[in-house]
Amino acid sequence: MFKTAIVGCGAISKTHAEALKSVKNTEITAFCDTNTEKLNKRLEEYGGKGYSSLEDMLEKEQIDVLHICTPHYLHVPMALAALKKNVNVLMEKPPAISHEQFDELKSAANDSGAKLGICFQNRYNDSVIKAKSIIESGSLGKVIGARAIVTWSRNEAYYTTSGWRGELIKEGGGVLINQSIHTLDLATYLFGAPKEISAMSANYHLQGVIDEEDTISAYLRYPDKNLVFFATTAFCKDAPILFEVMCEQGSVRLEGNTLKTTYADNTSSFTDYTERSETGKACWGTSHKKLIQEFYDCLETNKPFPVTLESTQPSFESMMAIYDSAKTNKTITLGV
């Protein structure tokens, strides 16, 4: 029986807790949050002991897995504390908010006997799995370019009532690191890290509310293709994410959880992979359950978990390069 604890009792913690209901040989033994109201709500829903301090929880509870669902700036310090005690860690995105944090986490994971997994759950979407298979098969010829578009909505209250969102020092950035990092991860998951990145950022609708970007655009250059990336939270609603890959003999278009494949003769196929989720937002996707299940399967069988910190490094480095380019107005070369 895996004894599990969740630190951070915000909205995403419920998604984790609900997913754990279907994982065999697993018991949620504790929750931790400094917000007593949020903590008590999770305890009422799922049981377990409550703590206001992670250090106290790690000291008093003999847990096997820690789910980190806290604000961005706390991800790495909390992961370090758990890994030091050889507690397995499953951490929400982002893996870090600085190069220094990422390197420190990488070193700690290498030194620990525990596993570290990162929640880039959209890699588990059925539509993404199928799209990746089509692209890698070469049936549509070589990839010649791609575009990724995220147009979502976040209002003032989303930031001002959170206690941490909208603050660069705590969030690490705006729409890129928070809302669209999953889409950037899909780009690097499919194509690897680009060679060069040029980017621009702006704050259009939340000036004076947040000290980070609400809109960002980037141009990712590969040796044989380019990817255009755009993300904003200034739209009127959360529209389905669009990710389209153009090939020599057709295209693959992901929109939300649908997949449209167009062939050289202009015929096409369309599949809707949408699944209903009891928790979270539709724009998050519904694959947390699949990722969490595989994490525990890998623990039980002692197999490598695929969404390692190393596997997320291309998306992390690309994210940091986008921010560097937008800040300096210069093209950033990766891998040097």
User: Domains of the chain, with CATH numbers?
Assistant: 2-119 (3.40.50.720), 122-282+309-333 (3.30.360.10)
CA pair distance 73, 89, nearest whole angstrom: 16
The rounded distance, in Å, linking the Cα atoms of 237 and 149 is 14
Q: Given this model, what pLDDT does residue 286 score? A: 74
Give the pLDDT score at 279. Answer: 55
DSSP output for 63-106: -SEEEE-S-HHHHHHHHHHHHHTT-EEEEESPS-SSHHHHHHHH
Q: pLDDT averaged over consecutive 10-residue blocks of the chain (336 residues)? A: 97 96 95 98 98 98 98 98 98 98 98 97 96 98 98 96 95 97 97 97 96 98 97 97 98 96 97 73 72 97 97 98 98 88
**Residue-level pLDDT at 310:** 97
State the Cα–Cα distance between residues 180 and 313, nearest whole angstrom: 16
Q: Give the DSSP letter of residue 239.
A: P
Please count the CA atoms within 13 angstroms of the CA of 123 that sit on its side-chain side. 23
Q: CA 273, CA 241: separation in Å to the nearest integer? A: 14
What pLDDT was estimated at residue 275? 77
Which residues have a Cβ under 8 Å from the Cβ of 70 and sit 6 or more positions away?
A: 7, 8, 10, 78, 92
* Beta strand residue intervals within the chain, DSSP E: 2-7, 26-32, 49-51, 65-68, 88-92, 116-119, 143-151, 196-202, 215-221, 226-232, 242-247, 250-255, 258-263, 268-272, 332-333
Looking at residue 336, what is its pLDDT? Answer: 57
pLDDT recorded at residue 276: 66
Q: How far apart are CA 222 and CA 99, in angstroms?
A: 22
Phi first, then psi, for residue 120 (nearest 5°) are -105, 70
